[in-house]
Homo-oligomer: A and B are copies of this chain.
């Protein structure tokens, strides 16, 4: 038997991912409604909004307003996304968010050029400025992430050595600013991973950096999300990003309507059925998934919200 983690930390990213891709417009109060419902599920971290250019991402023009309005549940970390200094300053200005600095590299230069108009080197250099900005504002930098770590629609395969090197770059960037990076998240941004490549990449990084905590950000665009999470569990990975109902979609897939992030309630279902704790109430999470569908007004990809949890069934059977 593999040595599965006893507890898995789920970082819920549904609101941020979902409302940025939906054509909308989705009323601010409905975004707040979903975040408030998620707060009651036992989730300990919820990425709420994205501070991005409203001209490019109109779905998050109301990011500040959402942050001002959602209810704070004690014990929940409410986070936000930003892509540059301007976004970070907005997050800082609105206040009352859990801000953590992260060093963000990307394993595919073609993707980086396309997505952020930067070379690998330019992106590496740009991190210095971001780290300084975080530290000047009292935001610790203890985390890194590598996008496109398992392959790229625009470059193809990503060598494992590139990912391992990039983890080293993240640790080194932190060190240069006196920060110890404890966690690095590997993102399968364009859904190239399979369970075996998850194991190869995680294994190679862990062999080189055995004390580093690894997290996985998985996408389900090619249907591998849950199997990849299972492979991650087999490797002992205990931190996963996911989105309720599979909110999010994928702008890089072959067809419109392709799935995006791995679905939180499907992941939690697997974890609980395997005896791994999450602190989350699956049935409440399923209600949030159905609420998310109601808010976006079209079916979302998750399965358990349609198939039903087994806890509900078991209780019905016990009562019968």
Q: Is A259 an interface residue (CB 8 A)?
A: yes
| Interface check A103, CB cutoff 8 A | no
Determine the main DSSP class of A at the interface with B.
loop
**Roughly how many angstroms separate A317 CA and B192 CA in the complex, as a whole number?**
14
Is A312 an interface position by the 8 A CB rule?
Answer: yes
B-side contacts of A310, CB under 8 Å? 151, 192, 222
Per-residue B-contact encoding for A133-164, CB less than 8 Å = 1, 0 else: 00000000000000000010111100000000
Q: Is A222 a contact of B253 with CB atoms below 8 Å?
A: no
Q: Which residues of B contact A230 (CB under 8 A)?
A: 195, 227, 230-231
Chain B's closest residue to A303 (CB) is B223
Residues of B within 8 A of A263 (CB): 223
Tell me the A280-320 residues at the B interface (CB within 8 Å). Answer: 299, 301-310, 312-314, 317
In chain A, positions 200-238 with a C-beta closer than 8 Å to chain B are: 220-224, 226-227, 229-231
Most B C-beta atoms less than 10 A away, residue of A266, A299, A310:
A310
Closest to A246 in B: B223
In the complex, which of the residues B156, B255, B308 contacts A314, with contact meaning CB atoms closer than 8 Å? B156
Contact A306 B253 (CB under 8 A): yes
Closest residue of B by beta carbon distance from A286:
B254
Considering the complex, give the chain B residue whose CB is closest to the CB of A310: B192
What are 19 of the A-B contact pairs (CB < 8 Å)? Answer: A151-B310, A154-B317, A194-B270, A221-B306, A221-B307, A223-B263, A223-B266, A223-B269, A226-B226, A227-B270, A230-B231, A250-B307, A254-B308, A255-B308, A256-B306, A257-B306, A258-B307, A258-B308, A259-B306
A220: which of B254, B303, B313 is its contact (CB, 8 Å)? Answer: B303
- A196 interface contact, C-beta 8 A: yes
Contact B227 A307 (CB under 8 A): no
For residue A197, which residue of chain B has the nearest CB? B273
Instruction: Tell me the smallest distance from the CB of A18 to a CB of chain B, in Å.
Output: 17
Let me know if A43 is at the binding interface, CB within 8 A. Answer: no
Partner of A223, one of B222, B226, B250, B258: B226
Contact of A258 with B303 in the complex, beta carbons under 8 Å: yes
Which one of B155, B220, B256, B270 lies within 8 Å of A195 (CB-CB)? Answer: B270
Measured between beta carbons, the chain B residues less than 8 angstroms from A222 are 266, 269, 303-304, 307-308, 310
Q: Which residues of B contact A314 (CB under 8 A)?
A: 156
In the complex, what distance in Å separates the CA atom of A130 from the CA atom of B306? Answer: 36
Judge if A91 is at the interface, Cβ distance under 8 Å.
no
Residue A93 interfacial (CB < 8 Å): no
Nearest chain B CB to A139's CB is how many angstroms away?
35
B196 and A274 within 8 A (CB):
yes
Interface centre among A223, A231, A256, A299, by most chain B C-beta atoms within 10 angstroms, is A223
A191 within 8 A of B: yes
- Name the distance in Å between A107's Cβ and chain B's nearest Cβ: 15
Interface string of A3-21 (1 = CB under 8 A from B): 0000000000000000000
Q: Are B274 and A306 in contact (CB under 8 A)?
A: no
Chain B: CB-nearest residue to A257:
B306
Contacting residue for A307 out of B223, B270, B312, CB 8 A: B223
